[in-house]
Amino acid sequence: MHPEFWHQRWQEGRIGFHQERITPLLERHWDGVGAAPGSRVFVPLAGKSLDMAWLAARGHRVLGVELSRLAVEGFFEEHGLVPERRESRYGIHYGAGDIELICGDAFGLDADLLAGCEAVFDRAALIALPEDLRRPYLGELYARLPAGCRGLLVTLEYPPHEKEGPPFPVAEAEVRAGLERDWRVDVLERRDILDREPRFAEEGVTALATVAYALQRLPAPEG
């Protein structure tokens, strides 16, 4: 997906991927991930997700990245926050309280910026990307997170020939192939949700599941 695709979706208000509630799997499994209180949580392709406010309310410091200025500014406006702004090589930083959003490209973030992120929450990033972008996303961006980083990854699974993404289906085998060299990957829950997603059924999808994974970045190999 080219950046123009997402800019157009936000400009036209076609943001069916935006949830008007906290992600249930986040509420159910975040404590089990083991992210330390006060830790900085990286939220890629953040949009204006309510999950960021939930994480901040739990005492975390949130670092999100999002391409769309409309989404970034919309988040702060909808939460009654007036952010301070600054520019860096990563994009335009908006910050208020314990939440900082970078209006920029997630693929442009480096290990220097992400070194302080002790946790990651990915609900709408991996599944927003086609396969040719998911490989470098997992192999490169996740590789820039520090050793010991813990995370919660949420994906969708459905027969790929039945619907054109996004959101795209991501099989467990793909998650493991992309991460297991550097991360411990544990399935926390796989749940059938087709009866709660009529849009998918209307498009002809016959099976739909959501999957939550707990992640932990392994120490770098010695030598």
Q: Report the pLDDT averaged over residues 189-202.
A: 93
pLDDT over threshold 70, residue 123: yes
Q: What is the mean pLDDT of the chain?
A: 91
The answer to whether 78 is a known ligand-binding residue is no
Q: Is residue 129 part of a domain?
A: yes
Q: Is residue 15 part of a domain?
A: no
Least confident of 17-31, 40-54, 89-103, 127-141: 17-31
The pLDDT of residue 7: 47
The answer to whether 189 is a known ligand-binding residue is no
Instruction: Band the pLDDT of 91: cuts 50, 70, 90.
Output: very high
Q: Report the pLDDT averaged over residues 63-81.
A: 94
Output the domain CATH number for residue 122.
Answer: 3.40.50.150
Q: Is residue 53 part of a domain?
A: yes
Q: Is residue 45 part of a domain?
A: yes
* 207-to-42, 163, 166, 173, 221 alpha-carbon distances in Å: 31, 11, 16, 18, 40
Q: Is residue 222 part of a domain?
A: no
pTM here?
0.92
Q: Report the pLDDT averaged over residues 102-106.
A: 95
How many angstroms separate the CA atoms of 7 and 156, rounded?
A: 23
pLDDT over threshold 80, residue 13: no
pLDDT over threshold 90, residue 14: no
Q: For the segment 148-180, what is each residue's pLDDT rounded down to a tens digit? A: 999 999 999 999 999 988 899 999 999 999 999
> Amino acid identity, residue 73?
E
The pLDDT of residue 69: 92
User: Is the separation of the CB atoms in 66 and 17 below 8 Å?
Assistant: no
pLDDT over threshold 60, residue 198: yes
* 199-to-5, 49, 173 alpha-carbon distances in Å: 20, 20, 26
Domain total for the chain? 1
147 versus 6: the higher-pLDDT residue is 147
Contacts of 157 (CB under 8 A, 6+ apart): 169, 170, 171, 172, 190, 207, 208, 209, 210, 211
Q: Is residue 71 part of a domain?
A: yes
Q: Is residue 155 part of a domain?
A: yes
The pLDDT of residue 37: 87
Q: How do 117-122 and 99-103 pair as beta strands?
A: unpaired
Rounded to the nearest angstrom, the gap between the alpha carbon of residue 1 and the centroid of all alpha carbons in its chain is 16
Instruction: Band the pLDDT of 220: cuts 50, 70, 90.
Output: confident
Give the residue among 126, 191, 139 at the shortest CA–CA distance from 165.
126
The pLDDT of residue 150: 97
The answer to whether 190 is a known ligand-binding residue is no
The pLDDT of residue 18: 44
The answer to whether 45 is a known ligand-binding residue is yes
| Containing structural domain, residue 199 | 3-10+20-217
Q: Is residue 34 part of a domain?
A: yes
